[in-house]
Amino acid sequence: MQADGSIATSVDGYLVNLGHLSPAAMDRARSLTDGLPLASFAGKSAIAREVDLLVRRLARHGLVEYRLSLPRDEQDLVVIEPQTPEYWPQRAKLGESDTVVLSRFAYLRRRGNEMVLESPRAAALFRIGDPAIAATLATLSRPERISRLRRHAAAFNLDLLELLVDSQFLFKLDAKSGDGLRANEGDGNLVLWDFHDLVFHTRSTEGRHANPVGSTFAYAGVVSLPPAVRPPWPGEKIDLRKFSASDPVSPFAGLLRERHSVRDFDDEHPITLAELAQFLGSAAQVLSEWKSGANFEGGPEITYSSRPYPSAGSAYELELYLAVSNCEGLARGLYHYDAGSHALVAIEVPAQQLQALSAAAEFAMDASGPPQVLITISARFGRISWKYSSIAYSLILKNVGSLVQTFYLAATDMGLGGCAIGTGNIDLFAKMTGLEFHVEGPVGQFALGRGKNANSMKPPAHGR
Ligand SMILES: Cc1cc2nc3c(=O)[nH]c(=O)nc-3n(C[C@H](O)[C@H](O)[C@H](O)COP(=O)(O)O)c2cc1C
């Protein structure tokens, strides 16, 4: 209870305000520690509305889980752990005659001493309490009619099936949907994703899971840190120092030595639009387009482009979105860099989302303010997975590495400063652009601006 009568909860040292509650609603809310039936606050009474508001606030902060149990049974069949702030249990509509099948992205795994059902497509994780449910899930590797399924397993009630369909662990096949294999699930952009790539993308970024992210030093007390420089092999050593100069021998070698990360920017003298244009032109502009014949029998002619940085298979799947906070001659806002015509195209976004994007970058760099220009590198996933299996996502990340070094060198060359950022919220980007997370989404970020000289050599606060 706060001094003003509102209630708050402390999460990892942060205070989350939950608003005011009447004494009666407060009393009812106490049951939340054990569980309160969703139906008990679905009504229109004043108490129900208050508790509903409270639970939804708690849910937005990831503080609610949902238990599913049979009446009069102590054991939970399933406990749903939301993975995104928006998750709220919904039931997809299913009938006895419908046919369902497991998504190829769904997986069961051990987490601690529990069995969890997860999927990169799902906004929630299902903790499986009853082994019979795991066994029945296994039968869903083939399409099954609901009526047949329920004859097999009592625990598999319609509520659970409908929750599983809503979270995209299962999908419904209609008469025309075929055999339930890869081509039947989702649009063409989803068909192109390999299982491990979509899991990796959604679990190594922020926005679609509730696990800890970044420098948590999770097992630092258990395993010691490998040394900064690898101890040498015991073989014969050829000392290269007598063959190479210790000082840079060319402007390029000088640029490599000079490059360093800059996290704090001079907001009195921000980067200008002309500088931004030169930076993008040097680092990322399309230099030419060319065509090649079919790669396989009956395949299409393919158009490629050439750009200043290398790209696996010349796919050039990476796109640049600029969140501009402080650039002389360019209004605040989000812009897409049209690399083909070397132009910026404004994208309407709510100011609050733009601010959230820059604030996250500021936090990741432990900086004193938002970056003047925050470049989000997104990938058009299909452009690369259309050709490559198994290695598509890893190629994208390698391409990000070469683009980021190109950014660093272009910025250094122009007397500007920049810093790569290892985290990014794929859900926020999807909301801002309206692009689905599996179609095009963030795979890297780079903060750009005119560096504050005094602080430019500060070591990374979060050790990233
Ligand atoms: C892939 C990648 C991710 C990074 N992520 C962050 C980050 O999130 N926050 C940060 O402050 N620095 C980040 N950095 C910058 C590194 O901390 C920095 O490159 C490193 O400390 C070496 O310092 P230098 O770049 O000044 O030579 C990242 C660098 C790379 C290459």
Q: What are phi and psi of 171, to 5 degrees?
A: -130, 155
Segments making up each domain of the chain, as ranges = 7-64, 68-185, 248-455
Protein residue with its CA nearest to atom 29 in ligand 1: 420
Protein residue with its CA nearest to atom 14 in ligand 1: 420
Cα gap 430→215, rounded to integer Å: 25
With the most atoms of ligand 1 within 8 angstroms of its CB, the residue from 216, 261, 425, 445 to mutate is 261
The three-state secondary structure class of 183 is helix
Q: Which residues line ligand 1 (CB under 6 A)?
A: 260-261, 263, 364-365, 404, 419-423, 460, 462, 464
Q: Is the CATH code 2.40.30 the one for domain 68-185?
A: no
Describe the crossing of helices 251-258 and 392-413 by its angle, rounded to 10 degrees: 100
Intrachain domains 68-185 and 248-455 with the same fold: no
The three-state secondary structure class of 393 is helix
Q: Which atom of ligand 1 is nearest to the CA of 457?
A: 26
Indicate the pairing of strand 7-11 with strand 14-19: antiparallel
Residue 195 CA to ligand 1 center (angstroms) comes to 29
Protein residue with its CA nearest to atom 19 in ligand 1: 261
Protein residue with its CA nearest to atom 15 in ligand 1: 420
Q: What are phi and psi of 426, to 5 degrees?
A: -75, -25
| 8 Å CB contact between 357 and 432 | yes
Residue 15 CA to ligand 1 center (angstroms) comes to 30
With the most atoms of ligand 1 within 8 angstroms of its CB, the residue from 205, 206, 457, 464 to mutate is 464
Q: Which atom of ligand 1 is nearest to the CA of 263?
A: 11
> In the CATH hierarchy, which fold is given to the domain comprising 248-455?
NADH Oxidase (3.40.109)
Residue 263 CA to ligand 1 center (angstroms) comes to 9
The three-state secondary structure class of 49 is helix
Q: Rg of the chain's alpha carbons, rounded to an integer?
A: 26
Residue with tokens 């395949």: 299
User: Tens-of-pLDDT digits for all 464 residues of the chain?
Assistant: 899 989 999 888 889 999 999 999 999 999 999 899 999 999 999 999 999 999 999 999 999 999 998 887 788 999 999 999 999 999 999 999 999 999 999 999 999 999 999 999 999 999 999 999 999 999 999 999 998 887 766 677 889 999 999 999 999 998 777 899 999 999 999 999 999 999 999 999 999 999 999 999 999 999 999 999 999 999 999 999 999 999 999 999 999 999 999 999 999 999 999 999 999 999 999 999 999 988 899 999 999 999 999 999 999 999 999 999 999 999 999 999 999 999 999 999 999 999 999 999 999 999 999 999 999 999 999 999 999 999 999 999 999 999 999 999 999 999 999 999 999 999 999 999 999 999 999 999 999 999 997 444 444 444 44
